Amino acid sequence: MRYVLIGAGPAGVVAAETLRKADPGGDILLLGDEPEPPYSRMALPYFLVGTIDEAGTYLRKSETHYDDLGITFRHARAVRIDPAGKTVALEGGESVAYDRLMIATGSRTQRPPIPGIDLPGVHPCWTLADSREIVRRAAPDSRVVLMGAGFIGCIVLESLIKRGVKPTVVEMADRMVPRMMNAAAGGLIKKWCATKGIEVLTSTKVTAIEDTGEARDPLRVLLDRGAPLRAALVVVATGVRPNIAFLEGSGIETDFGIRVDSHLKSSVDDVYAAGDVAQGPDFMGGWSVHAIQPTAVEHGRIAALNMADGNASYQGSLAMNVLDTAGLVSSSFGQWQGVESGESVERMDEARFRYTRLEFDGERLVGAICLGRTDQIGMLRGLIQSRVRLGDWKARLMEDPQRISEAYVASTHK
Amino acid sequence: MLKSLHIDPGKCTLCMQCEMACSYENEGLFNPAKSRIKVFDFHDRFVPYTCTQCAEAWCMSACPVDAISVDHATGAKVVSDDLCVGCKVCTIACPFGTVNYNHDTGKVIKCDLCGGQPACAEACPTGAIAYVDSDWTGYDKMRRWAGKTDSGAAQAHA
């Protein structure tokens, strides 16, 4: 059996490793379109700070890892898929044949269509190449404007502060991390940033970027309200979108991402998708793209088992994120926005920057947000994903939502 | 044969020796807050709780930088401080809440079975925590829960 995997991020790499175990004799070709060995975007903020070098971002540390497993890793970009002929066309004209194909092409950053977005010094922070450029430009004491205060924006912010730059964050929405935090939590993160001397402008749009030609902080960032900002560097973190453009005309069904079933199979036989590019079953019975590391590796593993003639069914991905914003750790899980006719409870301790909110559907926990707490937060995933009935513990949690770990152990260790 | 921690809540007296021993062994100080084993006090019963070194190894597979690996001598999933970047993804990926972030070091900590001589088991005066052959450990309960939180792969292996 010849397996071809397009994309060498976590989903592709885990899939290749899983295929090797499931089909010791299979022929596995892993394609990556960046020049480096497979690496982790998650690790880039730590490369920016200098905690790790480039090799520290690699998904697997042994230089011979892929060779050792008999996985062929090739630097190549897929430009077209022909499901009828079962081939993948590569940039440069070559094409490779497959018996089973996985598309794990991840996502790409969106650049808002504003004047100046392509100027030198305006960068996303998505690839190692981007990161090198940011390291080069983010000199201590230089001014940096961060467009977007989402997950990526916040985590890059943390790194930029550690590099000693003066950052200003510009976010279109009315709060920070709008897709991961509610108004109360987002507001608390903004307040935290203020105490750290970080300027955060919410409900504000960048309208244009200009090059002044001056030596110091040459970029001028125009806003829809307030005075323009100066910057040596503008980091664009305004969201990502699945890489599906190259699938046009292939017959593979796409919506926001590639539609896959609970076996991670696409609408076309022998073609699977995993990770950020896949729109698969979610834990609440819908179809979502959850562009997060845990979903990527779960997708990769399950898709690979099925590609190797196994029968693994995915229970659905659960949204979850953990974020460190200049030292304040926040996390959110599942249906943190709540569900219809559900109940919720929250505790806010503004002075200590702590916040907990739990969302229930009947006796079950379905979502949560935590700020200022890191101990045993995984139990929130455990409570949601095991769908455990909380019984008496529901009332106790409504009284004191901090008692998460007790509720978990009491409910699961009877 | 691999050994595992066998926990019998019925024998626990809430003496907290395990938490003291764990924090001293791993962090060099007697501080239950830094312990990798936690004893839950439900008034009528006390439940020592730590990582079961589960087969799913959610923490290990979620780690983006390969910082968690299996110690083949003990079966423990062990965090490499040299490789851990402190991203905390494992702390939300582990549905048991047994990988935790240490603010002082900027790394995560979890039970590593003390390399094969778990200090908690050695310190436990009543045998509520024992280090025994894996065949007959009482992790079944947690493993059942691991099954319920499973993302699908276990069914394929079954």
pLDDT in tens, A185-224: 999 999 999 999 999 999 999 999 999 999 999 999 999 9
A409 and B87 in contact by Cβ < 8 A? no
- Pick A302's closest partner by Cβ from B49, B101, B153: B153
Residue with tokens 């970047």: B85
| Domain A2-108+242-307 of CATH type 3.90.50.10 | no
**Which member of B42, B85, B89 has the closest CB to residue A293?**
B89
Can you give the pLDDT at residue A108? 94
Record the tokens describing residue B125, joined without a space. 């005066």
Q: What are the pLDDT digits (tens) for B87-134?
A: 999 999 999 999 999 999 999 999 999 999 999 999 999 999 999 987
Residue A17: closest CA among chain B residues belongs to which residue? B61
Question: What's the CA gap between A354 and A374, in Å, rounded?
Answer: 11
Are both A2-108+242-307 and A122-236 of the same fold?
Answer: yes
Low-confidence ranges of chain A (pLDDT < 50): none
Count CA atoms closer than 13 A to A33's CA, side-chain side.
16
Provide the b/e sequence for B94-113 (b: ≥16 CB within 10 Å). bbbbbbbbeeeeebbbbbbb
Cβ separation B96–A378 shorter than 8 A: yes
A169: left (phi over 0), alpha (psi -120 to 50) or beta: beta
Look up residue A226 and give its DSSP letter: S
Write the residue in A40, A312, A382 that is nearest to B156 by C-beta. Answer: A312
pLDDT for B126-154, tens place per residue?
Answer: 999 999 987 655 555 555 555 554 454 43
- Nearest chain A residue to B51, by CA: A376
CB-CB under 8 Å, A297 with B89: no
List CB contacts (< 8 A) between B150 and chain A.
315
Nearest to A356 by CA among A345, A341, A342: A345
Rounded (10°) angle between helices A404-412 and A392-399: 170
**Given this model, what pLDDT does residue A412 score?**
87
Which of B51, B141, B149, B157 should be substituted to probe chain A, the one whose Cβ sees the most A Cβ atoms within 10 Å? B149
Question: How near does any CA of chain B get to the CA of A377, in Å?
Answer: 6
CA distance B55 to B41: 28
Residues A411, B49: contact at Cβ < 8 Å?
A: no
In CATH, what class is A122-236?
A: alpha beta
* Contact assessment for residue B152 and residue A298, using Cβ atoms and an 8 Å cutoff: yes
Say if CB A160 and CB A152 are below 8 A apart. Answer: no
- What are the Cα distances from residue B22, in Å, to A8, A115, A374, B38, B96? 39, 58, 19, 10, 18
Q: What is the pLDDT of residue B151?
A: 53
CA–CA separation, B158 and B151 (whole Å): 13
Q: How far does chain A reach from its first CA to its final CA, in angstroms?
A: 47
Q: Which of residues 64-103 of B touch A (CB under 8 A)?
A: 64-66, 83, 85-89, 91-101, 103
Q: What is the pLDDT of residues B12-37, one digit of tens each?
A: 999 999 999 999 999 999 999 899 99
CA separation for the pair A6, A81 (Å, rounded): 10
Residue B61, chain A, CB below 8 Å: the answer is yes
Residue B89: its chain A contacts at CB < 8 A?
Answer: 42, 293-294, 322
Residues of chain B with Cβ-Cβ distance to A325 below 8 Å are none
- CATH architecture under which domain B3-150 falls: 2-Layer Sandwich (3.30)
Q: What is the ipTM of this complex?
A: 0.93
Domain positions in chain A: 2-108+242-307, 122-236, 335-412
Q: How far is A411 from chain B (nearest CA, A)?
A: 11
B155 — contact with chain A (CB < 8 Å)? yes
- The pLDDT of residue A329: 96
Which residues on B lie below 8 Å from A293 (Cβ)? 62, 64, 89, 93
User: What pLDDT is attached to residue B140?
Assistant: 58
User: What's the whole-number mean pLDDT along residues B152-157?
Assistant: 40
